[in-house]
Chains A and B, each alone.
Chain A
Amino acid sequence: MAVVDHSVAGIAKPKPDNRQARAGWGLVAPALTLMALILLVPIIVAAVLSFTNYSLGNPGFDWVGVQNYERLFTRSTYEKMFIATFTYVVTVVPISVGLGLGAALLVHSLGRIGDIYKTIYFLPVMATLLAMAIAWEFMLHPTIGMVNRTLEMACGTWFEALPFFANGCAEGFPLWLGDRDYAIWVVCFIGIWQGFGFNMVLFLAGLTSVHRELYHAAEMDGARSGWERFRLVTWPALGPTTVFVVTISCIRAFQVFDTIEAFWPQGGGPNKSAYVMMFAIFEKGIQQNLIGIGSAITMLFLLFVMFLTLIQRWLVERKVHY
């Protein structure tokens, strides 16, 4: 997606006759129509509706100006929405990219044996997230879940010296999903659990394209330690991959929904601590039929995502290459 090859356009035979033009338009017509109807018109519709108080089933609507947007920036519900969304993105993106890179470096250095880890770490990417969210919910069940049972095993050992365990053994371990201090972090954890294998595979693809000679050259120039080689060769060479991985992780993180809906079908977590944007669009726009406010959130969402992608394209075009 990163690089668009414009140069090849000139290769086609220079005889733009009518027949080819007609065939060309005929062949792109279905795609063009669908693109307009499914991708472009809805954005315009959302943009228009975000200035109205429309509801499905009502015969008409009133223009309400920027009232919907004003609400987004003044009501505490939406403040919680922004906080939850940004907490999620800012936590999940760096950690899942970092873990992805770390895992890729380790797996790459192990050669063929490393492939088994690659396979395992990729499993969460393939698995239906909703099913895995339910599995995690059981793991985190306060009384019969595996997590708290495992933690309880540490009671009575030297682990109790740690405040977390001392507290947990005395008063019970956290409720995790029911606790507003933990809820969003648990969701972040599952996001990282699910996403870092994907990033790892992208980094691995990037690593295989780093030339061996570069490492030799770096060594000649005095880069003896592994860290030096990483800093001087690997990291710059992975530049384009990193930009892409960060962008796609951001876009995916913004779209988090499945886990939130599975854990808290009503309301987005204890005290709305995990009320992310996609869930807000779903709850306001579709369940409560407040199309105006839902459209306003949609527009903001699109703005964020497009902004991110444009930054990525700009970075790539400036060539983050070495």
Chain B
Amino acid sequence: MTRDWWKHMVLILGTIIVLAPFYMMVSYSFKSPGEIDRGEGGFFGRQEMMIDPRCAALRQPDRADIEAARARFAGQDDASVQASLLAETEADCSMRPVLFNYSKAFTEAPLIRYLLNGVIVTVSIFLIQIVVALPAAYALSKLKFWGRDAVFGLVLFCLLIPVHAIALPLYIGLAKLGLTNTYAALVVPWTISVFGIFLMRQFFMTVPDDLIDAARMDGMSELAIVWRVMLPTAIPALLAFAIFSVVAHWNDYFWPRIVVTGNRDLFTPPLGLREFKGDGDGSFFGPMMATATVIVTPLIVAFLLAQRRFIEGITLSGMK
């Protein structure tokens, strides 16, 4: 232990740099604009009551409000009625910075909708990938047919093509079909996972043939074998692939940025955050960092809960 101290020093230095932006993101999501500007308040900020400037501006008492409130403050002159009304407004509009930031994150933009879109897109991508890739992987590993090697060769060739790189022609195709700004546009390019086919094929190679022969004896069709025999044996590999796929598409920014323009109803979480940044002024650092925290948290929490599986899934592409 003692002779390892220098290793810990180096690794702790790395830890500080790695965690710094996370620390800042979460810390700013707790702080009031003033504290962010002045750079004070430690990690949690002082959480003093603050007044929401927009709320206060909206509810500035005018002539009519004073007339209406005259009954409540009988016997006072206009100035003192106005003062009492202002005090009420401020009381109504003041809240803790942490509440302010997170409530703004959810009310300034339809963040729930964005998160839901993120879930819809990632889940449909994954399900379609499986529906397409699993039968192909089974055929390529367990069925003998003329042309199989050619198909597998094609799969190996397609592994070379990063989908992001061919975004432009894909975009043109979708635009020609009138599909931009739809869920379909967000999902379609990812429906075919060549990597998924390759991975599942390698996995199916290890499944004993007897299992399949027995199923055939029972009179199962080949398609039924895929879903009722092969799928259950492939759960561990599928889980790893699921993590790989979900992480990639939850975090993806490039493709949604291209095919979704302006239609907020289709925004995925990163797009929503980007828009927030676009129209944010100085006082909105807090709510913006709250949005960022909300978007990053689900995957981080899932990762911390199931580290081994996540690392397996993400580095999957690195294993044979």
Contacts and interface: CB of A to CB of B under 8 A. Distances in A.
Contacts, number: 288
Interface stretch (A28-36, A73-81, A180-188, A214-222): A28-36
Contact of B144 (A16, A131, A309): A16
Interface string B5-40: 001101100110111111011001000000011010
A191 interface: no
B209 A12 contact: yes
Contacts of B270: 128, 130-131, 258
B318 A136 contact: no
B11 A106 contact: yes
B102 interface: no
A23 interface: yes
A198 interface: yes
Nearest to B319: A205
A38 B169 CA distance: 9
A12 B144 contact: yes
B166 A127 contact: no
Contacts of B299: 126-128
A211 to B, nearest CB: 18
Main secondary structure of the interface of B (DSSP, over half): helix
Nearest to A190: B21
Interface in A34-50: 34-35, 38-43, 45-46, 49
Nearest to B243: A126
Contacts of A123: 18-19, 22, 300, 303
Contacts of A106: 7, 10-11
Interface of B: 4, 7-8, 10-11, 14-15, 17-22, 24-25, 28, 36-37, 39, 131-133, 135-136, 138-149, 151, 154-156, 158-173, 175, 188-189, 191-192, 194-195, 197-198, 202, 205, 209, 213, 221-223, 226, 247, 250-251, 253-254, 257-258, 269-270, 273-274, 277-278, 285, 288-289, 292, 295-296, 299-300, 303-304, 307, 310-311, 314-315, 317-320
Query: 4 nearest interchain CB pairs?
Result: A24-B145, A42-B169, A31-B136, A34-B192
